[in-house]
Amino acid sequence: MADDVKGIGGWLLLFVIILTIIQPVYLLVDVVANPSFYSYSSGVYNLASLLWVFGIIIWSLVMGISIWNKKEKAIIWAKEFLIVSLVIGVVFTFLYAGLYTLEEQDILFVELFRSLIFFGVWFSYLSVSKRVKKTFKKTKIEWKRLGMVFLIVLGALFLISMVSSLFPQNIETAGFKVAGIPQEITQEYTLDAEMVQYHKFADQDIITDSIITFESNYPISVFLVKSENDFNNFIKGLNYEIYEGCLVEERTSGEIRCTISSGGIVVWNYNLYKVEYSLTMK
Considering the domain architecture, whether residues 90 and 159 belong to the same structural domain is answered as: yes
Question: Can you give the pLDDT at residue 167?
Answer: 58
pLDDT at 45 over 50: yes
Domain total in the chain: 2
Q: pLDDT digit string (tens) for 239-276?
A: 888 887 788 888 888 888 888 888 889 888 887 788 88
**Number of C-alpha atoms within 13 angstroms, CB side, residue 227?**
7
Residue where a domain terminates, one of 165, 200, 222: 165
Considering the domain architecture, whether residues 203 and 65 belong to the same structural domain is answered as: no
Q: pLDDT digit string (tens) for 14-26?
A: 999 999 999 999 9
Q: pLDDT digit string (tens) for 65-96?
A: 999 999 999 999 999 999 998 998 888 888 77
Question: Can you give the pLDDT at residue 165?
Answer: 61
Cβ within 8 Å of residue 245, ≥6 positions away: 173, 174, 258
User: Residue 176 falls within a domain, yes or no?
Assistant: no
- Note the pTM of the prediction, 2 decimals: 0.58
User: Residue 180 falls within a domain, yes or no?
Assistant: no
Using DSSP's 3-state secondary structure scheme, residue 277 falls into: strand
Question: Can you give the pLDDT at residue 177?
Answer: 29
Task: State how far the Cα of 243 lies from the Cα of 250, in Å rounded to an integer.
Answer: 18
- CA distance from start to end of the chain: 62
Q: pLDDT digit string (tens) for 28-39?
A: 998 888 776 776
Question: Can you give the pLDDT at residue 173?
Answer: 31
For residues 278 and 271, the answer to whether their CB atoms sit within 8 Å is: no
Q: pLDDT digit string (tens) for 161-187?
A: 777 666 554 433 332 222 333 344 567
User: Residue 175 falls within a domain, yes or no?
Assistant: no
Residue where a domain terminates, one of 165, 195, 230: 165
Considering the domain architecture, whether residues 42 and 126 belong to the same structural domain is answered as: yes
Calculate the average pLDDT of the chain: 81
CATH assignment of the domain containing 193: 2.60.120.380
Q: What is the DSSP letter of 174?
A: B
User: Residue 26 falls within a domain, yes or no?
Assistant: yes
Task: State how far the Cα of 82 lies from the Cα of 118, in Å rounded to an integer.
Answer: 9
Share of the chain above pLDDT 70, in %: 84
The residue segments making up the domain with residue 268 are: 185-281
Which of 120-129, 141-150, 178-187 is the least confident region? 178-187
